[in-house]
Copies of this chain bind each other. A is one copy, B any other.
């Protein structure tokens, strides 16, 4: 139904939190979990995804935590979403990655190309909206 997953919402919320509460020191998963009353494990996994995708830098150990790697103006929402939702796309057959199974309508499917255009436009919306816009 074209809905963002909770993970995406959490990614936006966490990123926004980090953008605002921008004390020089790293921000811990625990702090974010407490702030939003979310489970620590869950928000951790989201932050780990952001880290893997170089949206945040992570620091282990006692004074560790996460810090945004770029200015909020340079972080498009699409990066946040793709980080936690690798196969985000309106229909399976548009997957630019690991598209395993072949669509059974392939032959007589002319809705693919137009939907690809739609997908591009949606991507554009999420690219042009930056983290700084949701602060």
Contact = CB atoms under 8 A, between A and B. Distances in A.
Nearest to A109: B13
A37 B104 contact: yes
Interface stretch (A25-33, A45-53, A65-73, A125-133): A125-133
A51 B77 CA distance: 37
Copies in the complex: 2
A36 interface: yes
A119 to B, nearest CB: 9
Interface in A79-94: 81, 85, 87-92
A16 B110 contact: yes
Contacts of A121: 125
Contact of A125 (B89, B110, B118): B118
A133 B122 CA distance: 17
B1 A87 contact: yes
23 contacts: A1-B4, A1-B5, A1-B89, A2-B3, A2-B4, A2-B88, A3-B88, A3-B89, A4-B90, A9-B91, A12-B111, A13-B105, A16-B110, A16-B111, A37-B104, A114-B129, A114-B133, A114-B134, A115-B134, A117-B129, A118-B126, A121-B125, A122-B122
